[in-house]
Structure 1
Amino acid sequence: MTEQRIATRRVSLDPAVFAVAAGTLFGLLLLRNPVTFGRVVYERGDFAANSVITADAKHFDLLVGNYSRLGFHHPGPAFFYVQAFGEWLLYDLLGAVPTPWNGQWVALLALNSVLLALVLSVVHSWTASRAATALCGAAMILYFATQPAILASAWMPNLYVAPFLLLLTAAASVAAGRVAHLPLLALAAGLLIHGHVSFLLFAPVLSGAAVVASLWTGRPAWRESGVAVAGAVAVLAVFALPIALNLLLHWPGDLLRYFEYDGARATPAAADVARYVLRYYASSPPLGALAAAAFLGSAAFLTRRLPAGPPRRFLTAAVCAAALATILFTGYVARAVDDLRFTYVGQFTRAIPLLLSLVCVAAAALRPGAFLSSLGRRPAQWLVTAVVIGALGVGSGAPALRKLPEHVPDMPEVMATLDRYTAGRPAVVDVTQETWPAFTALVVHGDRMGPRVCARDPWWEFMVTERYICTPDDLARGRSVRLTPTAPEGATLITPVDEAVLTAGS
């Protein structure tokens, strides 16, 4: 069979591969997190702040993303429409989960599973080997099992890992000539740009490099790619719509803040930048440097050993995508991370060593004369099955695949006490900086259980939206309370809440 016929056959993603991968990953996450359906979760902190805008998404009123600690909102609401759908379907409609947050959480677990299944489907479309794809899936599970909790987490920095892996994989596929995968590249880029302003750098550069490489090496493929280009444009249009509407309705919105996004107050030392970049490979810089060199070197070496053809072309492009992403991230750390103590900022780059791991596994499995091919078909199938089952066994017991969101178990009692104190009137809250996680919890659960909770200081609008800033009517009718880490001397205690206390205001 010629390379052209192989390429034509593999353009489409295999629905069976996608369904098995997505179902297995989703099932594994639910197995590790049975609390999604069985435990009441009353969110706090960032999770509660996200629930504030998820409520807007349920009514199709949300046009912005999650808040930034720098005082603005990230570009788009895509993740929150996913959460809103989960809350509506599983809590409002089916009553399958005990609280709204549980529905949001299940939806995010499903999103991660789908994105990772798309990655494996792209890999399979190039390798045409279910054995190699299954081994890549096993490697993926083992990788996440040894990392900090990522897949089961609903925290925004962790949610960028799966779409960034898809961005790198789809970029490699497009660069290698698979123009049909442009919509996947657009999907990953759109999700990331909606999630964080920093991806206004990473997504266009990586996507643009993939398109340029594809044009440079495969113009005939582009002549037959009208459907793929139209699909990518449609996907990008969906992601661009809320951003455009927000600019039209609230010009200039946060647009100027995005162009000014340049957190570094002073250029950090090269050693500090290197230490920051390498920490996503290992905890110490020497081990991180060794691990990074091993990942990149092994992927390049094993790919080089493959015979010329589609798999080698794709895996080579994947190595290049990982290298380019590392270069971009190094420049980003040097220029735009205002405090290198904030390690969560680069969490998404854990996708880079994972991609290199998948390249190594696929290249090793496909190499002529590899161990699998020497076993014969039936023994090889049994070995692959054993490896996958072993990986699932490790994953089913891995602490890293289990994560309970931050929450306040006694929130109903807190809200009942506050409601009695305010006699049903709005609670006008004076908030200290340290108590913001408790404040967002009060806002969300006040909306669900009563009474209304609002901030006296308009500065908190970036976190809880204008809806929960006290209006003149709130100030006139409401009852003042203070939220502080500890009760001030002589203050009347209303109730403890989370790691703070509510006391009577003046």
Structure 2
Amino acid sequence: MLKGLAAFLLSALCVGLFIIVFGQTFPSAQLHEVGDFAANSLLIADAKHLKLLVGHYSRVGFNHPGPAFLYALAAGEIVFFDLTHSVASPFSGQIHAVALLSGFWIAAIGTLLIRMQPATRGATAAAVLTTALFVGVTAYINYQAFAGPWFPHLYYFAFAAFTVSVGALIMGRADGLVLLAVSLGFLLNGHASFLGMTGIMLACALIANTWLSFRSGSNGTRVLSRHYLASNFRTIAVALAIVVIFLIPLAIQTILHFPGPLAEYAAFGRAHKANRLVDAARFAGLFWSNGLFGILLGAAACAVLVTNDPARDNESRVAPERALSLALASATAAFVFYAVFGVDDLSLTYVGIFYYVVPALALTLLAKRFLDNVTVATAPIAVIVCVAVATFTAIRIHQPPENVSQYNDPRIPAAYTAIRTLEAGGGVAVLDLDGSADWERLWPILVGIEAYGKRQGSVPFCIAQNWQLVFTRSARCTPDEMRGPHRRFLVSAVPKEGLTGAVNVSGLFFYPRESAE
């Protein structure tokens, strides 16, 4: 057992280091993040002091269920920036943490695939080959998932690990329960929608497992049986304990602010009109037909039909493929449910980036089946595929991220100093934000200044009017701050007609509203 754990940890570390070396991780750059990344850094600052109980902000006005991902990013900031000084900025430390977390998920998926293979010669090579193919497909369709700290990308590998674990559960295996629990915990912490989607996937998995068990006449693999529960009691208990630990922050939030976050999520669901099923299905289809990917998927399916040899389709070979295919079907059912009831605007495709896992795994299974039909998986073949995938992946992840403009705004330190000069008599600058024009330029810069100030130990402003959750609750002006000495400003991203005396701070216009009190 210890030997297997050591091999897993070494594999995860090697994959993580590969991503750090070849990916865009900016170890020597002085980064001053803005926008969503700065908003996350505000929460990460609390996580570094073990004070964070909520997840990242949602654009609809609430925090997501839990801080698991944020604590992982905080650990990267602590290790790589605060302790070892191996990176030049805290945000680079967060990016390094994402790379190592991706390495963990990829190694965990590979380890579980090895266990799901029949205990025959070449089983390990076949599982490694499958994992490599999945990594290569991911590098093609979603290269930013490897080291991207944006939450829609962070969900990707966690959802992949959960989906593969669901496949193992359908097979009636217990050796995937710990990975299922860990990935489930991260997903439940990551986004409110996973509360429903993972439940649907688990329910579908239990139904599929029961059906397959009765069909094969094997009671030992039926999860909902006394024999299974008795045989795997310890593993099940550990998995349940892991999930409970991940849910502790949500429970504390519910107790402290009853009825808590779950009531907020339910209110959001009631507030917007459900989408039509056909529109939801069309939304899911976007992730299957994206550019060249749809052509590759069709080509792989045709190749399997042309080369298929039914004589080689023994049960030990088909069982893992069947289980994973059923897991993909359950994930699709859950995603369509999410698109119907949980997405208020189907034009926002970024909310479904994690679902790329399903067509990626489908293409992986087709490519693996094609290779199985034309050759036998051996160590040399697995090595050749791994080298080819590593080369392709290195090229893909070396591309700049699409949202790299939010990684650094060099004006932030000077803007922080400029706002500090606006303070009055030891108070803070009270800001009223102008949301009437170019809001998408105003808030990213201002939240970047806030994150920088929090790292310096002093945020030089609070927000009175037009406060939004992106700035965190601590940025909202308190009654004491409003009563104390302060100067008040209207902050706008564009010049305001009829107003004079503006102070220009990083392209934002600070208009004085009242003198110090």
CA change 1:278–1:170 in 2 (3 A) is: same
| CA contact 1:179–1:214 (8 Å) conserved in 2 | no
- Greater shift, 174-183 or 261-270, is seen at 261-270
Asked if structure 2 preserves the Cα contact closer than 8 Å seen for 1:264 and 1:334, the reply is: no
CA distance in 1 between counterparts of 2:62 and 2:300 reads 37
For 1:312-323, list aligned pairs within 5 A.
312-323=318-329
Counterpart amino acid of 1:464? F
> How far 1:70 sits from its partner (Å)?
1.1
Alignment-derived partner of residue 154 in structure 2:
159
- CA distance in 1 between counterparts of 2:114 and 2:324 reads 14
Which of residues 213, 232, 235 in structure 1 aligns to 2:239? 232
Q: Which amino acid aligns with 1:133?
A: A
Q: What TM-score, normalized to structure 2?
A: 0.84
1-side partners of 2:311 and 2:254: how far apart? 51
Equivalent positions of 1:64-463 (< 5 A) are 64-127=54-117, 129-148=123-142, 149-214=144-209, 217=213, 218=221, 219=225, 220-262=227-269, 265-268=272-275, 272-283=279-290, 307-366=313-372, 370-372=374-376, 380-399=378-397, 402-403=400-401, 404=404, 405-422=406-423, 425-433=427-435, 434=439, 435-449=442-456, 450-457=458-465, 459-460=467-468, 462-463=469-470
Shift of 1:505: 4.1
Distance 1:234 1:99, change over 3 A: same
Q: What's the offset of the Cα at 1:80?
A: 1.0
Q: Distance in 1 between matches of 2:294 and 2:447?
A: 40
Question: How far apart are residue 356 of structure 1 and its match?
Answer: 1.6
CA contact (8 A) 2:205 2:330 kept: no
SS of the residue corresponding to residue 480 of structure 1 reads: strand
User: Could you tell me which residue of structure 1 aligns to residue 216 of structure 2?
Assistant: none
Alpha-carbon offset, residue 32 of structure 1: 2.8
Could you say which residue in structure 1 is the equivalent of 2:218?
A: none
Could you tell me whether the CA contact under 8 Å between 2:156 and 2:354 is conserved in 1? yes
* 1:274 to 1:233, Cα distance in 2 relative to 1, 3 A: closer
Q: Provide closer, same or farther for how the CA distance between residues 189 and 381 of structure 1 changes in structure 2, counting only shifts above 3 A.
A: closer
Q: Residue 125 of structure 1: CA displacement?
A: 1.3
- Aligned mates of 2:303, 2:228 — CA distance in 1: 31
Letter in 2 for 1:192: L
User: What is the CA distance between 1:166 and its match in structure 2?
Assistant: 0.8
- TM-score (ref. length: structure 1): 0.86
Change in CA separation of 1:279 and 1:96 when aligned onto 2, cut-off 3 Å: same
Structure 1 residue 296, shift from structure 2 partner: 7.7
Within-5 A mapping of 1:467-478:
467-475=474-482, 476-478=484-486
What is the CA distance between 1:72 and its match in structure 2? 1.0
Q: Is the 8 A contact 2:491 2:508 kept in 1?
A: yes
Q: Equivalents in 1 of 2:60, 2:158: separation in Å?
A: 24
Percent sequence identity over matched residues? 27
How far apart, in 2, do the equivalents of 1:166 and 1:303 lie?
30
> How far is 1:486 from its partner?
1.5
Q: Secondary structure at the match of 1:63?
A: coil
Q: Cα deviation per residue 1:447-485 (whole Å; 9 max; x = unaligned)?
A: 22345221113742x323321111233233232233312
Q: 1:494 aligns with which of 475, 491, 503?
A: 503
SS in 1 for 2:488: strand
Whichever residue aligns with residue 432 of structure 1, its letter is D
- Equivalent in 474, 491, 496 of residue 483 of structure 1: 491
Change beyond 3 A, Cα 1:437–1:41: same
**Alpha-carbon separation, structure 2, partners of 1:293 and 1:266:** 35
Task: Give, as a single letter, the amino acid of the residue that structure 2 aligns with 1:172.
Answer: G
* Amino acid in structure 2 at the alignment position of 1:454: C
Distance in 2 of aligned mates of 1:340 and 1:320: 26
Pair 340,240 (structure 1): closer, same or farther in 2 beyond 3 Å: same
Amino acid at match of 1:418: I
Q: Deviations over 1:75-118 (max 9, x none)?
A: 11111111121222222222222222222221122112211211
Contact in 2 for aligned 1:112/1:151 (Cα 8 Å): yes
How big is each residue's C-alpha offset from its partner over 1:283-320, in whole Å with a ceiling of 9 and x where there is no partner? 36xx8877767778888997977533444222211101
Structure 1, residues 37-77: CA drift from partner, whole Å, max 9, x if none? 21111111111111111112122221111111111111111
Structure 1 unaligned spans of 5+ = 1-10, 374-379
Deviations 1:247-279 (A, max 9, x none): 111111222122233278445455543432121
Preserved contact between residue 138 and residue 388 of structure 1 (Cα < 8 Å): yes
Query: What is the rounded CA distance, in whole Å, between the counterparts of 1:137 and 1:237 in structure 2?
Result: 29
Deviations 1:111-147 (A, max 9, x none): 1221121111111112252322332233223212222
Counterpart Cα distance in 2 of 1:109 and 1:289: 28
Checking the alignment, whether the CA contact within 8 Å between 1:417 and 1:494 is kept in structure 2 is no
CA 1:89–1:118 in 2, change beyond 3 Å: closer, same or farther?
same
Residues 1:341 and 1:290: Cα distance change in structure 2 (over 3 Å): same
Structure 2 runs not aligned, ≥5 long: 214-220
Alignment of 1:38-49 (within 5 A): 38-49=28-39
Q: Is the 8 A contact 1:493 1:502 kept in 2?
A: yes
Distance 1:385-1:252 versus aligned 2 partners, 3 A rule:
same
User: Which amino acid in 1 is paired with 2:462?
Assistant: C
Tell me if the contact between 1:171 and 1:321 (Cα under 8 Å) persists in the aligned partners.
yes
- The one-letter amino acid paired with 1:338 is D
Q: How many residues align?
A: 484
- Alignment RMSD: 3.0
Deviates more, 1:96-105 or 1:237-246: 96-105
Q: Which amino acid aligns with 2:242?
A: V
**Partners of 2:200 and 2:330 within 8 A in 1:** no
Deviation beyond 6 Å, 4+ runs, structure 1 = 287-305
Amino acid in the other structure paired with 1:207: L
Secondary structure of the corresponding residue to residue 481 of structure 1: strand
